[in-house]
Structure 1
Amino acid sequence: MQIFRFQFYFIILFSLSLHAQSKKYAIHTVAFYNFENLFDTNDDVNTNDDEWTPTGAQQWTEEKYHQKLKNLSSVISEIGRPENPNAPTIIGGSEIENRGVLEDLIKEPKLANYDYGIIHFDSPDKRGIDVALLYQKKYFKPTSFSNIPLLIYKNKTKIKEEKKEEADDELEDKIETTIDKNRVFTRDQLLITGFLEGEEISIIVNHWPSRSGGEKASSQFREAAGRLNRKIIDSLQQINPNAKVFTMGDLNDGPYNKSVKVALGAKAKKAEVPEFGTFNPFEEMMNKGMGTIAFRDSWDIFDQIIITESLIKPNFSTFMFWKAGIFNRSYLVQTSGQYKGYPLRHSQNEVGFSDHFPVYIYLIKEMK
């Protein structure tokens, strides 16, 4: 494997305790970042984006929009340092209005040289916010991608019972209308498969339903999102039992919630992960009091990257999980006021970054 002087292909050196000797490894950073309200300044008549216009509540001007792009590009360019001087090879994002804002983002001076590609679909979310994937074209070659809808409904049980009582055409039409009205429109789950330097991987980018209406009342929707994730992973593993799958996103739940622990089945410790199971390195961070988002002075980790068992096997002749992190540099933190210590988000007086810290993992492979 060759190393070219001016290409962003890096090596890390560290000691493996198993062999008590120093080895050389190639490294890639895989990241996720909730961009928080990455809207352009135009009013989209099909979505509820009026707030993010020059005359809206946020007084969202071109100047503020471009400052937001500059801020986000600075963060993205640094995620994963110092272990990896390269920007993330792959980064999932959420709260993205459209493809256009991503095209503007990757043209920012701090990102332009990385030649990022974009995978994005418009979702049915009423605010018009979507998930997407950015990837360095040099290293990752997508072969397929699709947006998989999360179909969830209010009063679903009542609808089913009504359907059982009568089966005539008139009632069926009525039920279809009722289901449409009761659907909770949320973000699709974005599935991408491709080759990372010749090795096939799959990525699911998520932004699970919010806690609107309360955590308990809305938990069923996030549990449905977890089950859909598990179904996608199962399908990939049926095709390839050794499929390397990453599911990443703002899950609006912590590593300890049922949506993650039960529906998706993520384990906190590698030794507990069964064959075809999933490992969540962010649960241990949660137990240590770390967080990606703060609410009422309490921290939680809604932003997670969860991986399949195939990525934690002790075989570094292929790309494997090394370690995970939360990117919480000091410049991303509010330094004064009521929300001192929280992630530095946008306000009327300042264009911030996001109300979430980004998360990342490293993939490493032994150099020969």
Structure 2
Amino acid sequence: MRLPFFKKKTKKQRYTVAFYNLENLFDPERNVNILDKDFTPNGVKKWTVEKYQRKLQKLAKTIYRIGDEEHPYPPALIGVAEAENNSVLKALLDTDPLDDVDYGFVHFDSPDERGIDTGLIYRRRFFKLLHAEPLALLVDNVGGVRDTTRDILYVKGELNKELVHVFVNHWPSRRDGGVETEYKRVIAAKEIVQRIEGIKTEELDPNIIVMGDFNDDPSSLSIQTLKEEAGLFNPMETLHIPNSRGSSVYGNKWNMFDQILVSNSFFNYEKNTHSFDKADIYDHKSLREKKGKYKGTPYRTFVSDKYLGGYSDHFPVYAMLTFNS
């Protein structure tokens, strides 16, 4: 059944910018160039076409609704993480109700061994794509061997004819320990700072949006480095309550790894520009575990190799922009 557009009357021209870690959006086909064997019908997760399509349906409905309590229309921009390839993003956008929205997307294959990449989905009606490229994140493991982690996706475009620069991230994981791997995420932060400095040599007061799963909280050194050295505002700082609210859970602690930071230019309120309005976590009850030990936490697709049939192990996050007409 197709979801209706709820056309409420709104005084403001609002646009939702979102980020969503899709939790291993793999197709069921084997790709010998990446480590995706687990996500095949014969793999340990028994990932079938039926399960894949069920996940696409859940994700499509969620993306469509992000921020719907603030604004009745689907997001204008959605950064995503953990997408295997172009085909899964195309399949996602071809799934009801997203198939009724004028979405396009940007994606590049990254050197990540598992093949999980970042991407940017955008509404063609509001966003004109001007340039996109993957920015290699060159970090080494402790032993000196390169960590083949995800690229940073850089996209330049016009949102309602206003020039914006978007960086979509999925920074190196904490698999080998948060403290032990912190230096990798600080390097990622400094890479973006350097890119923003380059943009500032060509533009006065550019509009910057940095979003992603940073595998660090707002208070972490990497995010503080990004915020301070690039001159960004992080609305996610006030949303994170470690014992009760965040975008994902590890152990009994809520993390706020999913964040959207914006440049101070989004506070200028000039005509024909966008201004920051508010930000939030889209933690709707439909995306939560309904009962048991993990009640209230993200309703995941998998816990280890056990199939739960949920959405993702992360909640989406979003920022609301107002167009000053």
TMscore range, shorter length: over 0.9
Output one character per residue of 1:238-283: Cα deviation in whole Å (capped at 9) or x when no partner. Answer: 1112210100000000000000002x134xxxxxxx9x61000000
Cα distance, 1:284 vs structure 2: 1.0
- Report the residue type matching 2:196 in the other structure: I
**Where does residue 271 of structure 1 map in the other structure?**
none
Distance 1:96 1:155 in 2: 27
1:73-222 mapped onto 2 (5 Å cutoff): 73-155=60-142, 182-222=145-185
Distance 1:198 1:247 in 2: 19
Secondary structure of 1:222's counterpart equals helix
- Report the residue type matching 2:156 in the other structure: T
**Which of 67, 80, 89 pairs up with 2:54?**
67
The reply on whether 1:247 has 2:210 as its aligned counterpart is yes
**Where does residue 321 of structure 1 map in the other structure?**
276
Would you say how many aligned residue pairs link Structure 1 and Structure 2? 317
Conserved in 2, the CA contact under 8 Å of 1:316 and 1:364?
no
Secondary structure of 1:109's counterpart equals coil
**Where does residue 264 of structure 2 map in the other structure?**
309
1:231-246 mapped onto 2 (5 Å cutoff): 231-246=194-209
Cα distance, 1:336 vs structure 2: 2.1
Cα distance, 1:94 vs structure 2: 0.3
Conserved in 1, the CA contact under 8 Å of 2:241 and 2:254?
no
**Which of 324, 348, 354 pairs up with 2:312?**
354
The reply on whether 1:265 has 2:227 as its aligned counterpart is yes
Distance 1:57 1:338 in 2: 25
Distance 1:8 1:336 in 2: 30
Cα distance, 1:59 vs structure 2: 0.5
Secondary structure of 1:55's counterpart equals coil
Conserved in 2, the CA contact under 8 Å of 1:11 and 1:27?
no
**Which of 314, 322, 325 pairs up with 1:364?**
322
Greater alpha carbon shift after TM alignment, 294-303 vs 331-340:
331-340
Conserved in 2, the CA contact under 8 Å of 1:10 and 1:86?
no
**Where does residue 247 of structure 2 map in the other structure?**
292
**Which of 22, 26, 49 pairs up with 2:13?**
26
Distance 1:226 1:309 in 2: 18
Distance 2:162 2:272 in 1: 11
Q: Which TM-score applies when normalising by structure 2?
A: 0.93
Larger Rg: 1
Change (3 A) 1:8 1:341: closer
Distance 1:228 1:10 in 2: 42
Output one character per residue of 1:19-53: Cα deviation in whole Å (capped at 9) or x when no partner. Answer: xxxxxx21110000000000000111011111100
Distance 1:340 1:219 in 2: 30
Change (3 A) 1:10 1:91: farther
**Where does residue 56 of structure 1 map in the other structure?**
43
Conserved in 1, the CA contact under 8 Å of 2:162 and 2:272?
no
Distance 1:366 1:88 in 2: 18
Change (3 A) 1:9 1:200: farther
Query: Which of structure 1's runs of 4+ aligned residues deviate more than 4 A?
Result: 7-11
Distance 2:121 2:277 in 1: 21
Identical amino acids, percent of aligned pairs: 38
Distance 1:340 1:330 in 2: 10
CA RMSD of aligned residues (A): 1.9
1:32-51 mapped onto 2 (5 Å cutoff): 32-51=19-38
Secondary structure of 2:70's counterpart equals coil
Cα distance, 1:93 vs structure 2: 0.2
Conserved in 2, the CA contact under 8 Å of 1:10 and 1:27?
no
Conserved in 2, the CA contact under 8 Å of 1:9 and 1:26?
no
Distance 1:295 1:212 in 2: 12
Secondary structure of 2:81's counterpart equals strand
Change (3 A) 1:307 1:56: same
Distance 1:287 1:39 in 2: 31
Cα distance, 1:314 vs structure 2: 4.1
- Report the residue type matching 1:29 in the other structure: T
Change (3 A) 1:101 1:336: same
Distance 1:249 1:132 in 2: 10
Distance 1:11 1:143 in 2: 32
Distance 1:207 1:192 in 2: 15
Conserved in 1, the CA contact under 8 Å of 2:81 and 2:212?
yes
The structure richer in helix per residue is 1
**Where does residue 12 of structure 1 map in the other structure?**
10
Output one character per residue of 1:302-334: Cα deviation in whole Å (capped at 9) or x when no partner. Answer: 000001111123436511111001000001001
